[in-house]
Chains A and B, each alone.
Chain A
Amino acid sequence: MKYAFFPGCVSRGGCPELYPAVLKVCERLDIELEEMYGASCTGSGILQEKNEFLGDTLNARTFAMAEQMGLPIMTICSTCQGVMSQANKRLRDDPAHLAEVNETLKEEGLEYRGTAEIKHIMWIMVEDIGIEELKKKFVRALPDLKLAPFYGCYIVRPSWALEFDSHPGRERSLEALIEAVGATVVDFSGKTRCCGFPILTINEKNSLAMVANHTSEAQSLGADAMVTPCPLCHLNLDSFQPKAASQNGIRIHMPILHLPQLVGLALGFSPKEMGLGRHIVSPRRIEEKVAEAAKV
């Protein structure tokens, strides 16, 4: 099982704990990775608001590189995944658009033929490896954990880009993985809502209000932590949680786990190896429960 690895910006920027955790987890899951060092940022939806054609061209460049490598792309960010899925759909559905984009790529000796497959590591674990196979590799069950899933907008919307119809179960992949590690899913209304990160520097008050709502809701339902496949959500929900709590005048302590970290814990890595100590909201409670589980 081999993928062209597209790590995105934030897993090496504001969430530097994610990138090394992913490498460790993939190695143990026999997922072979060839990193796409020359690929650019997807545009994150921000470049697209100025110039969608520019965004599609940059992403087509990445897709063409993957075609040359002969590999499907693996992403580790809901936003990267969504933005790339949207671009791919537009390019595949409109040959004239694709031709125009290729006109620009030609100078670099690249051409996108429309065959790239782009998959978030969450989908790879559920669809390509499969829950049953995955469970065979787990050395630790985490039955004492109550976890609230938090998807991140772009991996659930817009549905026209995400191929839910041809991939039954995809819409529930995060819950499926939480169940696979033996933990209990805490269903809550924030699950598929926005974390507020895109407006953090534009309207901080609203952005933090979203953080406060989601984390306090999860807390009131008894969750030990929230789990997310999106490092942008992580950045807002974790790093800005203390500020969000004080803005809204409430006490919140809600650790946020990256999905690969959770899977890593079940695979037997220590919380330290998964970089949990680098989070702003201390996941000590999780660490203790993992230590107890290890003893069994």
Chain B
Amino acid sequence: MQVTLAIKRFNPESDKPQPHYEEFTVDVEEHFTVLDSLIKVREEVDESLALRCSCRASICGSCAMRVEGHATLACKTKLISVMDGQSKVRIEPMTNQPVIKDLVVDMKPFWDKIRDVEPWLQPQEPEPEDEYIAPNEAMIHLTGVMGCIMCGACVSDCTVLEVDPNFLGPAALAKAYRFVGDPRDDADKHRLKELSKYTGIWDCTRCYECVEVCPKGVAPMDRIMALRDRAIAAGFDGNYGARHTEAFSDLVEHSGWLDELRMIPKTFGMFNPLSLGPLLGMIPIGLRALRRRKLPPIRHKSIPGVKNVRRIFKKVEARK
């Protein structure tokens, strides 16, 4: 069969470097991966096409790129699975990372952020003479994160990184969980304190993009949520993120559903001088909403049978 690859190209050494799409039509076999077809283009049509690959078996993590608008490993993605009856497939370099040439991006910012979370064991006790002994149950929850092959797909499609390049991002935060969750590591307090700051765990929007695109089932967002829980439990609960979660939980426990009007002051803290700015900033928005009657009810009634909801909260929280 034939397929047309619409490849986003960029050559910094050309006279007028400008990203542009170039189409290549090639004969492919039914079983071809996206990578197979790209290699064919490079070998048979245009040897200047730049791309990275090595293992061709979803192990090395070097071939991540965007196929039909989503980041993925080119060697893991069957052409047929993305063609959807069409004969054209759009291939672009990863986003949120500077493009060096064609499909090759600069991974330096990626590695810098991995380094920022101190991805090494920091035990307090002196090292054991032989190996560390850790019980199976204490390590099993880490096998998922350990599967990360550092491909950068999650970083490419992260919605927060699109607006704020300072965000540590899904891969680095998943890596942070790998050490916070490790029973041999004793730096949890230090790690969670750092992670609770701006650029850390509370800046994630919970959009699931990273979970969806990760080729290895690392589920970075789920790890970020686990870190939030651990951070609150470790006492790092003064930031807006933790306060937001606690306020939401309290309000639902109290009435069975969300009282939005009380959510904002409860998150910011009515008597917290630092919160004056954000609270005042909400006033014009509140006034506009008032004019349009686009406001939650002032009197928020509990749902019938709310005592059952409260009982569930008590019982389940105690179980934890």
Q: Which residues of A contact B (CB under 8 A)?
A: 9-10, 12-17, 37-41, 43-51, 53-54, 57-58, 61, 104-105, 107-108, 153-154, 157-159, 189, 193-194, 196-199, 201-207, 209-210, 213, 239-240, 242-243, 277-280
Contact = CB atoms under 8 A, between A and B. Distances in A.
Given A10-B260, A51-B229, A53-B320, A278 B294 contact: yes
Interface in B190-246: 198, 202-209, 211-212, 225, 228-229, 232, 239-241, 244-245
28 contacts: A9-B257, A9-B260, A14-B294, A38-B304, A40-B256, A41-B252, A41-B257, A47-B248, A47-B249, A48-B225, A49-B245, A54-B312, A58-B312, A61-B312, A108-B308, A153-B207, A193-B162, A196-B159, A197-B205, A199-B203, A202-B244, A203-B164, A203-B203, A204-B281, A209-B164, A210-B162, A243-B284, A243-B285
B264 interface: yes
A280 B268 CA distance: 24
Contacts of A194: 159, 205, 207, 209
Given A46-B245, A50-B229, A198-B206, A157 B211 contact: yes
B258 interface: yes
Contacts of A58: 309, 312
* Complex A-B, nearest 7 residue pairs according to Cβ-Cβ distance, in ascending order: A157-B208, A13-B296, A194-B207, A209-B163, A9-B258, A49-B225, A194-B159
A201 B240 contact: yes
B160 A51 contact: no
B317 A51 contact: yes
A12 B163 CA distance: 31
Contacts of A198: 205-207
Interface string B274-312: 000010010011001100111111000001111011011
B315 interface: yes
A279 B292 contact: yes
Contacts of A104: 312, 315-316
Contacts of B21: none
Contacts of B260: 9-10, 13-14
Interface residues of B, number: 66
B156 interface: no
B157 to A, nearest CB: 9
Contacts of B98: none
A16 B164 contact: no
Of the candidates A38, A47, A49, A203, the one having the most CB atoms from chain B within 10 angstroms of its own CB is A49
B225 A57 contact: no
Contacts of A189: 69
B37 interface: no
A57 B317 CA distance: 11
Contacts of A10: 258, 260
Contacts of A105: 312
B31 interface: no
B228 A50 contact: yes
A47 B252 contact: yes
B301 to A, nearest CB: 10
A107 B316 CA distance: 13
Contact of A44 (B211, B258, B288): B258
A278 B288 CA distance: 10
B108 interface: no
Contacts of B16: none
B313 interface: yes
A13 B203 contact: no
Given A54-B316, A201-B268, A209-B164, A157 B209 contact: yes
Nearest to A238: B294
A54 B258 contact: no
A207 B228 CA distance: 19
Nearest to B201: A49
Contacts of B211: 157-158
B182 to A, nearest CB: 21
Nearest to A234: B294
Contacts of A37: 303-304
B124 to A, nearest CB: 28
